[in-house]
Amino acid sequence: MSELTVPSQATAPAAESGLMVQAEQVHKSFGHLEVLKGIDLEVRSGEVCCLLGPSGSGKSTFLRCINHLEKINAGRIRVDGELIGYREHGGKLHELRQKEVAAQRRSIGMVFQRFNLFPHMTALENVIEAPVRVKREPKAAARERAEALLARVGLGDKMGNYPGQLSGGQQQRVAIARALAMQPKLMLFDEPTSALDPELVGEVLDVMKDLARDGMTMIVVTHEIGFAREVGDSLVFMDGGVVVEQGNPREVIANPQHDRTKAFLAKVL
């Protein structure tokens, strides 16, 4: 198993401090390209954290590191107090087996830019699939929850439709329902509206706002400044693989302190 560099100062487990996500000095490289250069981030349970930044700043890579879709090169990430992707032994971190990583991912929902629905399955079948196959839930129970989730995202009348019969916004809402069907404690959104036509963006953001009101812990990579201002509890601006600025979204957007943040917001506002 691969070993990983451990930060010199360990902190209290996240579960004991009300933290859902705790990242310490996270580094990630692809070959000689260092994409993440020591990311520190904390997200409390029930919070919505919005990640902003230019393309190539490392936002999506960091999001994928949280559920170990990308293996970090140094640092550590905890979700609800549990070390993700590794176990600690003798002062070193050793990578978990794939089966153990898959078990951790069950409690972390992720929604991508592209919807990644199974084209040969109906909306209802797409939502049922993971609970039945992965968690071995009885199909009747999984179906009941799937129907409730599709109704919640405004697709109660589209359960029998295939992805090809749905708009982009509808497909993304099915993807959100599919992630929620696993009953996650944390939801990760990687620019969930970037592939949508402008008139379809609102319907997806409305579902995410509803989740936030219900207390779902969320980390959202987005360029939707209005969403970050209205819904976010914290805003993190990244550039060049580092956190440049973070704070209350309303305050950061209205009065950014760093020149790089000012320049970015001037272009997108």
What is the chain's pLDDT, residue by residue, as a tens digit (269 residues)?
455 655 544 444 545 568 999 999 999 999 999 999 999 999 999 999 999 999 999 999 999 999 999 999 999 999 999 999 999 888 888 999 999 999 999 999 999 988 889 999 999 999 999 999 999 999 999 999 999 999 999 999 999 999 999 999 999 999 999 999 999 999 999 999 998 998 899 999 999 999 999 999 999 999 999 999 999 999 999 999 999 999 999 999 999 999 999 999 999 88
Q: In this structure, is residue 120 part of a structural domain? A: yes
- Count of domains forming the chain: 1
Please tell me the distance from the alpha carbon of residue 55 to that of residue 164, in angstroms, as a whole number: 29
Is 192 inside any structural domain? yes
Within a domain: 3: no
Cβ neighbors of 165 (< 8 A, separation 6 or more) are none
Q: Say how far apart CA 49 and CA 78 lie, in whole Å.
A: 16
Does 103 reside within a domain? yes
Evaluate whether residue 6 is within a structural domain.
Answer: no
CATH number assigned to the domain comprising residue 96: 3.40.50.300
Residue of 123, 115, 102 whose CA lies nearest to 191 = 115
Query: By residue range, what is the domain housing residue 153?
Result: 19-266
Neighbours of 201 (CB within 10 A): 18
* 19 exposure class (CB count in 10 Å sphere: 0-12, 13-18, 19+): buried
pTM for this predicted structure: 0.92
How far apart are the C-alpha atoms of 95 and 231, rounded to whole Å?
Answer: 35
Task: Confirm whether 13 is domain-assigned.
Answer: no
